[in-house]
């Protein structure tokens, strides 16, 4: 990463510190009911390939918010050496630590959070959008039925236990975030400590999952390894963590109405990366984008919380979180068409390419023709539609949760503008948002976060 990028990091640190001071000042004069938040994503800054909300990230991951962003390295790109690893550990991916010997932190689970066995089903019997919608409805129902404030597991309520092994577990999660996701880590400083720690735990699990197929040991990974990782996930939700990083997540899913399904689905996305390099239709691509990006939004919303002033139903907020993940992922795909093609991969709907009069050879040869420009206009229009839907959910979050979400949304949407500015040449030109535009977007996102929920504004206009 260049010296100018490191300068951007320092500028962002200053901006975050300034906004944090302003946020603290405004919180003393506004509703005390506001809760804090974050996002589940990250960036490595200064000397490492970065994934994050405030920087231009490589393809495949766009999480969140997904709502800020947890980026996936392109297949075949090696990860940098690990610096966060316990001595004598048995690595899974990059972020393995010593086995957990403390009390299992995830019991009892919140009402309704039953760890059900995965169901066997044909992936194409039901349209992808309907399958994902069913997951969204379940997450929204769980969140609506949960207490308004995080519930500390009864057997861990004692201060000394939190101050002991679990504190060390969450501190380790924070170290991982700070090491690999500098900008994301800074954004979490605007949250309450309990929600900040929970988001760290979710981020670390997502990163470890990504390391299975894109990390330094990826060449040795197989579908069997992912099966073992999913079994370990089941243990986390059952209160049987293997190590301290697992313990942090186990505590988190007991304290917040977080369901296991989005986590399972992210692992399914890793399975697709091992076996699939073409997508016949947008229905197939939609499901992939949900697996690797939309899932993070569903994981994170329960921790971020919904504004007490919101009059929208919970489903609207979850749909917004899903839409931002989908929009970011589609934007990654459109930006990195050339990079993917050089690895023999096409993440565009093949049936839509055919209807536009294009073929795989056109992609591999990098031909920018009128047909290609027309095709790209349609793809960009679709991505922007998801961004608009994401706005509906972002306004309903807790006020302190909105800033990183709006930053992700505004910055990532600008990549589509840059693709257009490059005359749709995403074969040899990489669309990126200039530093000046990124810095301008930060205060704009902050002020957007101060606006009342759109549902409240609409109700007020009718009275």
12-21, 179-188, 357-366, 421-430: segment of lowest average pLDDT:
12-21
**Residue 67 in 3-state DSSP?**
strand
Rounded Cα distance between 267 and 212, Å, is 10
Q: Which of 445, 404, 437 is nearest to 41 (CA)?
A: 404
Percent of the chain with pLDDT over 70: 67
**Quick one: pLDDT band at residue 192, thresholds 50, 70, 90?**
confident
49's CB contacts (< 8 A; 6+ apart) are 1, 58, 73, 77, 80
**Residue 1 in 3-state DSSP?**
coil
The residue-averaged pLDDT of 341-350 equals 95
Please give the pLDDT value at position 121: 45
DSSP conformation class of 150: P
Q: Which of 339, 312, 365, 310 is nearest to 429 (CA)?
A: 339
Q: Which of 150, 449, 191, 137 is nearest to 315 (CA)?
A: 137
**Quick one: pLDDT band at residue 176, thresholds 50, 70, 90?**
very high
Adjacent-strand bridge partners of 243: 99
Which span out of 21-30, 88-97, 410-419, 451-460 was modeled with the highest average pLDDT? 410-419
CB atoms within 10 A of CB 230: 19
The yes or no reply on domain 129-451 and CATH 3.40.50.10320 is no
Q: Are 17 and 147 in contact (CB under 8 A)?
A: no
**Quick one: pLDDT band at residue 221, thresholds 50, 70, 90?**
confident
Rounded Cα distance between 312 and 346, Å, is 38
Please give the pLDDT value at position 151: 57
Residue 279 φ then ψ, to 5°: -130, 115
Q: What is the signed CA dihedral for 15, 446, 294, 11, rounded to 10 degrees? A: -10
Per the model's pLDDT, the better-predicted residue between 79 and 269 turns out to be 269
Average pLDDT, the chain: 76
377's CB contacts (< 8 A; 6+ apart) are 424
The string of pLDDT tens digits covering residues 105-155 is 443 333 333 333 444 444 445 788 988 999 888 888 888 887 655 555 544
Q: Which of 432, 329, 328, 12 is nearest to 183 (CA)?
A: 12
The string of pLDDT tens digits covering residues 352-399 is 999 999 999 999 999 999 999 999 999 999 999 999 999 999 989 888
Rounded Cα distance between 101 and 243, Å, is 8
**Residue 243 in 3-state DSSP?**
strand
Which tokens sit at 142?
A: 């769980």
**Quick one: pLDDT band at residue 253, thresholds 50, 70, 90?**
very high
Per the model's pLDDT, the better-predicted residue between 350 and 217 turns out to be 350
Please give the pLDDT value at position 447: 86
Q: Helices then strands (H, E): number in the chain?
A: 19, 0
Residue 99 φ then ψ, to 5°: -55, 150
309's CB contacts (< 8 A; 6+ apart) are 31, 452, 453, 456
For residue 63, give the H/E element and its range: none
**Quick one: pLDDT band at residue 318, thresholds 50, 70, 90?**
very high
Q: Which of 301, 325, 323 is nearest to 140 (CA)?
A: 301
Tokens 């059952």, residue? Answer: 238
Tokens 């980026």, residue? Answer: 71
Residue 361 φ then ψ, to 5°: -60, -35
Which tokens sit at 414?
A: 């600008």
378's CB contacts (< 8 A; 6+ apart) are 352, 356
- Residue extents of the structural domains in the chain: 2-126, 129-451
Q: Are 275 and 221 in contact (CB under 8 A)?
A: no
Which tokens sit at 295?
A: 């899932």
């Amino acid at each position: 990463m260049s010296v100018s990028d490191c300068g951007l990091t320092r500028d962002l640190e200053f901006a975050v510190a300034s906004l944090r001071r302003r946020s603290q000042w405004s919180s003393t004069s506004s509703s005390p009911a506001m809760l804090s938040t974050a996002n589940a994503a990250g960036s490595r800054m200064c000397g490492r390939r970065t994934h994050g909300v405030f920087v231009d990230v490589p393809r495949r991951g766009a999480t969140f918010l997904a709502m800020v962003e947890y980026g996936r390295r392109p297949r075949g790109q090696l990860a940098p050496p690990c610096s966060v690893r316990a001595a004598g550990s048995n690595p899974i991916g990059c972020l393995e630590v010593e086995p957990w010997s403390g009390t299992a932190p995830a019991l009892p689970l919140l009402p309704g959070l039953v760890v059900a066995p995965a169901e066997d089903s044909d992936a194409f019997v039901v349209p992808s959008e309907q399958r994902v919608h069913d997951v969204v409805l379940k997450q929204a129902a769980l969140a609506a039925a949960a207490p308004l404030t995080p519930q500390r597991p009864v057997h861990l309520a004692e201060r000394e236990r939190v101050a002991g092994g679990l504190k060390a577990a969450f501190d380790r999660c924070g170290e991982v975030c700070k090491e690999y996701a500098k900008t994301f880590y800074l954004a979490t400083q605007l949250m309450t400590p309990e929600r900040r720690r929970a988001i760290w735990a979710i981020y670390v699990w997502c990163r470890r999952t990504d390391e299975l197929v894109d990390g330094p040991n990826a060449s040795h990974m197989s579908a069997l390894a992912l099966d073992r990782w999913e079994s370990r996930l089941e243990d986390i939700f059952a209160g049987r963590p293997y190590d301290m990083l697992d313990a942090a997540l186990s505590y988190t899913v007991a304290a917040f109405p977080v369901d296991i399904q989005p986590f399972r689905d992210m692992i399914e996305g890793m399975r697709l990366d091992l076996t699939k390099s073409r997508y016949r239709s947008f229905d197939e691509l939609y499901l992939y984008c949900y697996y690797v990006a939309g899932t993070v939004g569903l994981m994170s919303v329960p921790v971020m919380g919904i504004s007490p002033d919101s009059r929208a139903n919970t489903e609207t907020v979850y749909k917004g979180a899903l839409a931002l993940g989908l929009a970011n992922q589609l934007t990654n795909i459109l930006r990195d068409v050339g990079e993917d093609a050089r690895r023999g991969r096409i993440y565009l709907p093949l049936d839509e390419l055919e209807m536009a009069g294009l073929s795989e050879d056109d992609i591999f040869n990098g031909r920018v023709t009128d047909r290609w420009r027309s095709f790209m206009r349609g793809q960009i229009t679709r991505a922007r539609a998801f961004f608009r839907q994401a706005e509906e959910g972002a306004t309903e979050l807790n006020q302190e949760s909105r800033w990183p979400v709006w930053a992700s949304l505004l910055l990532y949407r600008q990549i589509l503008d840059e693709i257009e500015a490059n005359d749709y040449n995403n074969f040899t030109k990489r669309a990126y948002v200039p530093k000046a535009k990124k810095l301008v977007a930060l205060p704009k996102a902050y002020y957007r976060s101060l606006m009342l929920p759109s549902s409240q504004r609409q109700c007020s206009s009718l009275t």
